[in-house]
């Protein structure tokens, strides 16, 4: 297949609009793989300490929980599936980065009226878990 076209939205941070990353058939295959695995209520990350008083970074955990701000359903799909690997490789080629740099691939479903409120989606340097989260793949943009 021909690589999708893209339009630069911003230079800093680097963002682009990608038109038709996957064909309709590829989308159907990705959705079917998520349905086989089982979609569940989407979660959000939140910081909670394991003890009443966290003494160090090792005492903290980044937990996933349900939020009224995110009402979709989702699941991660296996990167070893050919359709998932194809999508990851296309994105890596478009952005000029190694596919190793990508996060896990998710399929997210929004029914009518569902939402995901505006939020920060990166790791703040002044948080206790910052160094742990960025050590292998860096921060999100």
Q: Which pLDDT value is given to residue 52? A: 42
Summarised one tens digit per residue, pLDDT across range 92-129 is 888 888 898 888 899 999 999 988 887 766 778 888 87
What is the C-alpha separation between 74 and 85, in angstroms, rounded?
A: 18
Q: Which pLDDT value is given to residue 134? A: 80
The residue among 63, 38, 39 whose CA lies nearest residue 50 is: 63
Interacting residues of 18 by C-beta distance below 8 A, sequence separation 6+ = 4, 5, 6, 91, 94
- 103 φ, ψ (degrees, to nearest 5): -80, 175
- Is residue 29 over pLDDT 90? yes
Summarised one tens digit per residue, pLDDT across range 50-88 is 444 444 444 445 556 777 888 899 999 999 999 999 999
- Is residue 10 over pLDDT 50? yes
- Is residue 138 over pLDDT 60? yes
What is the C-alpha separation between 41 and 82, in angstroms, rounded?
A: 25
Q: What is the mean pLDDT of residues 37-45?
A: 86
- Cα dist. 67→23, 70, 118, 125, 135 in Å? 32, 6, 13, 24, 27
Asked if residue 94 lies in contact with residue 3, where contact means CB atoms within 8 angstroms, the answer is: yes
């Amino acid at each position: 297949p021909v690589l999708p076209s893209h339009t630069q939205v911003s230079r800093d941070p680097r963002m682009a609009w990608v038109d038709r990353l996957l064909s309709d058939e590829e989308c159907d295959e990705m959705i079917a793989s998520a349905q086989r695995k089982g979609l569940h209520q989407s979660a959000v990350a939140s910081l909670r300490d394991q003890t009443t008083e966290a003494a160090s970074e090792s005492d903290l955990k980044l937990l996933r929980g349900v939020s009224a701000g995110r009402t979709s359903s989702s699941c991660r799909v296996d990167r070893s599936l050919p359709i998932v690997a194809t999508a990851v490789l296309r994105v890596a080629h478009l952005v000029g980065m190694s596919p190793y740099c990508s996060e896990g691939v998710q399929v997210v479903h929004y029914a009518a009226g569902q939402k995901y409120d505006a939020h920060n989606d990166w790791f703040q340097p002044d948080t206790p878990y910052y160094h742990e989260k960025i050590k292998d793949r860096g921060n999100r943009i």
